[in-house]
């Protein structure tokens, strides 16, 4: 059974931690997301594509020049006209350091799992990520760019390279409690010099609550 509400305890824990974090001068935010996701696979045996909506959230804690982010999402993906659907789950954690205003460099794990006909396919990547964020015309509107790379382990299938990127906008009226965002993300795992590859794309809308 699909349980998108599994993300709620993570967000609730972050909300409960906000008062304690505030005493330490920390910044805390939680984000709810809806993503339209498409996964495409290419192999010598042929091509396949699945798509669907996933629901999830992210908790963020920033203290001085360090930022910790933890995210989770889950949904189901359809295989064209096939009535059956695949369970899809992803989660990540990353610890960033900020060497300059707006710039973050971090490392952390990313895991996604897809269940196809009762067979679980899992991708695990330790990612190195760079991120830059800045205002666009007004302090209320901010844009960000991310680039990631890592060494994947995909159910023992020997994927040798993995890369990803994303870009988005966040609108936070008057610097208030709520922020509204939209973003696009893509990543790709490759093996056998590109003879086998898996590409995942997502369009996301989000609502964030800035608790501190």
Predicted pLDDT at 96: 97
Predicted pLDDT at 11: 45
Averaged over 85-102, what is the pLDDT? 94
Are 166 and 143 a contacting pair, CB within 8 Å? no
The two tokens of residue 11 are 């967000």
Task: Measure CA of the first residue to CA of the last residue in the chain; give whole Å.
Answer: 35
Domain residue ranges of the chain, discontinuous segments joined by +: 4-210
E-state strands within 44-160: 46-63, 66-79, 82-100, 103-116, 119-136, 138-154
Spatial separation of the C-alpha atoms in residues 26 and 60, rounded to whole Å:
10
Percent of the chain surpassing pLDDT 90: 62
Predicted pLDDT at 192: 67
Tens digits of residue pLDDT in 98-152: 999 999 999 999 999 988 777 788 888 899 999 999 999 999 999 999 999 998 8
203-206 long-range contacts, CB within 8 A, separation 24+: 203/35, 203/36, 204/33, 204/34, 204/35, 204/36, 204/168, 205/33, 205/34, 205/180, 205/181, 206/31, 206/32, 206/33, 206/34, 206/180, 206/181, 206/182
- Does this model's pTM top 0.85? My answer is no
Tens digits of residue pLDDT in 3-62: 434 444 444 444 445 454 445 579 999 999 999 999 998 877 788 899 999 999 999 999
Neighbours of 101 (CB within 10 A): 8
Tell me the CATH class for 4-210.
mainly beta
Tens digits of residue pLDDT in 150-164: 988 765 555 578 899
* Residue with the larger pLDDT of the pair 208 and 212: 208
> What DSSP designation does 160 have?
-
Are 205 and 57 a contacting pair, CB within 8 Å? no
Q: pLDDT category, 194, cuts 50, 70, 90?
A: low
């Amino acid at each position: 059974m699909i349980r998108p509400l599994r993300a709620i305890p993570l967000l609730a824990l972050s909300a409960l931690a906000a008062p304690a974090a505030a005493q330490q001068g920390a910044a805390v935010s939680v984000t709810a997301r809806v993503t339209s996701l498409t996964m495409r696979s290419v192999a010598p045996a042929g091509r396949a594509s699945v798509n669907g909506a996933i629901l999830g959230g992210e908790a963020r804690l920033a203290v001085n020049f360090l930022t910790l982010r933890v995210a989770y999402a889950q949904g189901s993906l359809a295989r064209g006209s096939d009535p059956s659907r695949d369970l899809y789950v992803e989660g990540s954690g990353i610890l960033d350091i900020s060497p300059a205003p707006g710039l973050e460099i971090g490392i952390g794990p990313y895991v996604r799992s897809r269940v196809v006909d009762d067979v679980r396919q899992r991708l695990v990547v330790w990612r190195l990520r760079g991120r830059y964020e800045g205002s666009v015309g007004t302090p209320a509107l901010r844009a960000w760019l991310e680039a990631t790379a890592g060494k994947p382990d995909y159910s023992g299938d020997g994927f040798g390279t993995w890369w990803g990127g994303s870009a988005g906008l966040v609108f936070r009226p008057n610097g208030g409690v709520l922020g509204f965002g939209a973003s696009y993300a893509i990543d790709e795992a490759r093996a056998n010099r590109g003879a086998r590859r898996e590409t995942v794309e997502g369009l996301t809308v989000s609502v964030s609550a800035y608790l501190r």
